[in-house]
Amino acid sequence: MEFLLAKYNYWFYILIMMVGFYAMISKNNLVKKMIGVSIFQAAIILFYVSIGAKRGATIPIIEHGHDAVHHIDPTAYINPLPHVLMLTAIVVSVSTLGVALALISKIYAKYGTIEEDEINEQLTDV
């Protein structure tokens, strides 16, 4: 029980990720696939941000008085690096989503549907 509680964030990230992964693999609708991809990436973001957490620490904005900077206690602030990385990853996932939606929009214009099996039927008919 202790063991389970100590890492509960990580259990949840796996759960969310698998939901997204399943949607990505088995959904037929292209938009739903993309939603799956987004969930998958969101789970990765949760994973990284969980790495950055630190018990008893606050956001990494150093409080400095007007006097010269003196000793800064690193344990009082959370780890900034994962947040920086995830800012990047969020931007990347948004960009991928944009391109994917553009593709879906073109697919819809061409085939008149966004269900994968119907598109495949059209492709095999020709």
Partner 1 sequence: MKLIGLIVVIATGLLLLWGVTDFPDWADPQSPASTHLSPHFLTESIEETAVPNVVTSVLGDYRGFDTMLETTVVFAAGIAVYTLLRRSRRKDLREKPEMIEEELPHQALIVKTICRLMAPFMQLYALYVIAHGHHSPGGGFQGGVILGASFILLAIGFDLKMVLKRMREKTTLVLGILGVLIFSGIGMVCVLLEKNFLDYSALSAILPATDIIMARSHGILGVEIGVALAVMANLVLIYVNLSSDGKYERGL
Partner 2 sequence: MSNLQAPILLVTIPLLAAFFAALGGMLHRKISFPIALIAIILSFHQSIIVLLKVVNDGVINYRIGGWMPPFGIEYVVDHLNAMVLVVITFVSLISIIYSKLIVERELPDKIPQFYTLYLLLTTGLLGITITGDAFNLYVLLEISALATYALLALGKDRALISTFNYLILGTIGASLYLLGVGHLYIATGSLNMADLFRILPSLSGNSAVMVGFILIIVGVWIKMAFFPAHGWLPNAYTYAPSSSICLIAPLMTKVSVYIMIRIMFSVFSAEFTFANIAWQTAVVWCSVIAIIGGSLQALAQRDFRKMLTFLVVAEVGYMVGGVWLANEIGISGAILHILNDALMTLCLFLVAGILIFKTQRHQLMDFRGMFRKMPVTMGAFIIGALSMIGVPPTCGFFSKWYLIQGAIEAGRWEFMAALIFSSLVNAVLFFRIIEIGHFQHETDSHDHAEEKISEAPAIMLIPLVVVAIALVVIGLYTNDIVTNVIQHAVPVL
What is the contact surface with partner 1 in residues (CB under 8 A)?
Answer: 6-11, 14, 17-18, 21-22, 25-26, 50-57, 59-64, 69, 72, 74-75, 77, 79-85, 87-88, 91-92, 94-96, 98-99, 101-103, 105-106, 109
Q: CA–CA separation, 40 vs 44, rounded Å?
A: 7
Report the distance separating Cα 102 and Cα 94, nearest Å.
12
Point out which residues pair with 29 in neighbouring strands.
115
Q: Please select the residue that binds partner 2; options are 87, 90, 92, 94, rule is CB under 8 A.
A: 92
Structure tokens at 115: 């269900």
Taking CB under 8 A as the criterion, which residues in 7-66 touch partner 2? Answer: 21, 24, 30, 33, 37, 40-41, 44, 47-48, 51
